Structure 1
Amino acid sequence: MTPAARATDRSALPLPIGLLMALIAGCGMPLQGRVNGALGDEIGSGVGAAVVSFGVGLALLSVAILALPVGRRGLRAMPGHVRAGNFPWWYMLAGGFGAFFVVSQGLVVTFLGLALFTVANVAGQIGSGLVVDRIGFGPGGPRPVSTERFVGALLALAGVLWVVWPTLAERGVGFAVVGPMLMPFVAGLLMGFQQAMNGVQTRHYGNPLPATFFNFLVGTVALILTYLIMLPFAGPAGALPGVWWMYLGGPLGILFIGAGAVLVRFLGVLVTSLGLIAGQLLGSLAIDAIAPVPGSTVSASTVLGTLVALAAVVIASAPGRGLRFR
């Protein structure tokens, strides 16, 4: 794609609207975590809850992709896109990265706590966002590491660190903590590439439905295999509850993945990631204020850290000259 065409492609979605979409989609992630956590407690299996969440999302997407003409066209066009080299076939396996993120939650978030898990995951997302944009792995082509984008990335990380600093100070930072943090860090790195791969597919399909469907299909298969592998050690999950809202994790995941697949084309992976991260902090702040769990409080550091993350999104999205790295 020529630079002129790429510039037109990027300007097709106004920046304020794109940032608002990222914030709204990000706000759904803490709610998804609360829903999936409640489901996991109810059935006694975090991985089992993830299977149910992905399964519900896959069922909804299967109906949509078969019922809607754009979905059926996307399925029929997929082999042609692969044969034409528009994207490699393994781009459709991006859902495995999402499954790895969910599995990492189930394996280490209980030991690390949500605060340390979030810091490691956000650091990975910011790092992959800078790299993916710089090498042009996403649908918008290469985006230089400008001063504004670099400062915005550092500010976003600082905002998250500010929010979780009380937990960091209490736990300390030793090898017993840093070692398990590698898993959510790698999951964050993979999330940047997942968004880029979904964005490339969405650009060629013309809508995010096929790419989101393949994400949930691959993620569901990967999670079922993980559940079966862990079954001899963890035992089977309990009976499914009759509470309807415990099954909203799948629809919220559709919102998150679909929005990311669309936005990376216009905002780039870094700014999209920062917008989603800021949305997650806003969503967490709102949930703790409206429906707090026992022991959770809304502190001044939480509010200030969230404001810093929002400022980081504004700074990173501003146009600027590229930095030169050797």
Structure 2
Amino acid sequence: MSTEPLRGRARSPAIAAATAAGAVLALQAWINGRLGEALDDGVAAATVSDGLSFVLLAALCPFLPEFRRGTGRLARRTRGGTPALRPWHFLGGIVGGVVVLSQATSTAALGTALYTVALVAGQTLSGLCVDHRGIGPGAATPVDARRLTGAAVALAAVTVPLLGSLTAETIWLALLPFAAGIGLSWQMAVNGRLNAVAGSPYPSVALNFLLGVLVVSAAMGIDLALTGPPRHWPHDPLLYTGGLLGVAFVLASVLLVRHIGVLVMGLAMVGGQTVGSLVIDLAAGGGRPTGLTTLLSSAAIVVAAVLASRPGARPATTPSEPSELSDQHTPVPERQWT
């Protein structure tokens, strides 16, 4: 499996796939939000979504040779080597659990479009820090005036839709996806690093959902103690497909970030999330109406992502896939956390 970055016209299909992955995330948010609304329990909906994903992966991954080889490479690299792996490189799945919880508890009330505005605003701001620190599988991208302007636009875009309905509930609900978005860029970066070392996306995808299901299970334990189990389970099978969409999204992001870089991947995903969420809200209705301020904020988020992407930035390079007889990789620059 090649891990070389794509260039020129060869990148177009990968960018289109990244855009589609963003739309998949918006659709997952809508489905999990509807399930949470039907159960009257967002935490239970998140547990169902991540739980089904984990069961599917646990049943399939042990039979995939790439999964076994990649897991072995990761295990060897934790004992030393270049590029070095730190314990926090393996914790990206915690963010996945937080994202699913935010989907199930806030999407129905905010509407898919406004939820996505808050999510990608946090994602854009976090992307500045992640790229500056060189946390992902490529070299660091320093913060400049253009990227700072993009961050300011992202902050304005997430606050403007809330000005007309500033209540304690609205603010707290919007903070959930905003915080999840902050973690999302970091998750993409550490997953990309794990993928570069493993030479396969499957170990990092499986680890993501293992940690995600632990997060939502802990939240479910508290929820059961406080409110008890849901009293009604909907019969619509569509409401139980959020977990499958989550697997597709994580797998796509892990595969594509190696070829087009974190910056381009994030930009394409923002476009897919924004357009997808607006289409879903217009087609399905429900939640908060998609008004002019939400439309303008969605457009501003895309502008912010463009501004935050450094012009001419080259996609992050990743080491070639290791052979079965060698565990050597090209060094990956990383700024150490202090």
Which TM class, normalised by the smaller chain length?
A: 0.7 to 0.9
> What percent of counterpart residues are identical?
36
Q: Distance in 2 between matches of 1:301 and 1:308?
A: 10
Q: In terms of mean alpha carbon deviation, does 39-48 or 203-212 score higher?
A: 39-48
Q: CA deviation at 1:125?
A: 1.2
The aligned counterpart of 1:101 is 99
Q: CA deviation at 1:238?
A: 3.6
- Give SS of 2:129's match: helix
Q: Distance in 1 between matches of 2:289 and 2:110?
A: 17
Give me the TM-score of the superposition, normalised by structure 2: 0.76
Q: Distance in 1 between matches of 2:179 and 2:288?
A: 30
- Return closer, same or farther for 1:75/1:126 CA change in 2, 3 Å cut-off: same
* Of 99, 124, 127, the match for 2:125: 127
Amino acid at match of 2:39: I
Matches within 5 A, 1:1-326: 9-11=4-6, 14-85=10-81, 86-106=84-104, 117-145=115-143, 149-150=147-148, 160-161=157-158, 165=160, 167-172=161-166, 178=171, 181-238=174-231, 240-293=233-286, 296-297=289-290, 306-307=298-299, 309-310=301-302, 316=309, 318-319=311-312
Q: Is the 8 A contact 1:122 1:277 kept in 2?
A: yes
Q: In terms of mean alpha carbon deviation, does 256-265 or 133-142 score higher?
A: 256-265
- Give SS of 1:84's match: coil
Q: Is the 8 A contact 1:140 1:265 kept in 2?
A: no
Q: Distance in 1 between matches of 2:33 and 2:267?
A: 24
Q: Which runs of 5+ in 1 are unaligned?
A: 1-7, 322-326
Q: Is the 8 A contact 2:136 2:192 kept in 1?
A: yes
Q: Distance in 2 between matches of 1:273 and 1:31?
A: 17
Q: CA deviation at 1:200?
A: 0.5
Q: How many residues align?
A: 308
- Return closer, same or farther for 1:97/1:318 CA change in 2, 3 Å cut-off: same
Q: Distance in 1 between matches of 2:11 and 2:149?
A: 19
Amino acid at match of 2:230: A
Q: CA deviation at 1:215?
A: 0.5
Q: Distance in 2 between matches of 1:274 and 1:136?
A: 18
Q: CA deviation at 1:47?
A: 0.9
Q: CA deviation at 1:283?
A: 0.7
The aligned counterpart of 1:5 is none
- Return closer, same or farther for 1:317/1:238 CA change in 2, 3 Å cut-off: farther
Q: CA deviation at 1:29?
A: 1.7
Q: Distance in 1 between matches of 2:296 and 2:108?
A: 26
Q: CA deviation at 1:214?
A: 0.7
Q: Is the 8 A contact 2:37 2:108 kept in 1?
A: no
Q: Distance in 2 between matches of 1:204 and 1:302?
A: 41
Q: CA deviation at 1:310?
A: 4.6
Q: CA deviation at 1:265?
A: 3.4
Q: CA deviation at 1:236?
A: 0.8
Amino acid at match of 1:168: L
- Return closer, same or farther for 1:187/1:305 CA change in 2, 3 Å cut-off: closer
- Cα deviation per residue 1:208-251 (whole Å; 9 max; x = unaligned)? 22111110111112211210122121211245444322221011
The aligned counterpart of 1:3 is none
Q: Distance in 1 between matches of 2:249 and 2:77?
A: 24
- Give SS of 1:138's match: coil
- Give SS of 2:181's match: helix
- Return closer, same or farther for 1:198/1:155 CA change in 2, 3 Å cut-off: same
- Cα deviation per residue 1:152-183 (whole Å; 9 max; x = unaligned)? 5555666x54xx84x423213x7776566554
Q: CA deviation at 1:93?
A: 2.3
- Give SS of 1:144's match: coil
- Return closer, same or farther for 1:19/1:104 CA change in 2, 3 Å cut-off: same
Q: CA deviation at 1:266?
A: 4.2
Give me the TM-score of the superposition, normalised by structure 1: 0.79
The aligned counterpart of 1:4 is none
Q: In terms of mean alpha carbon deviation, does 23-32 or 101-110 score higher?
A: 101-110
Q: Which runs of 5+ in 2 are unaligned?
A: 315-338
The aligned counterpart of 1:324 is none
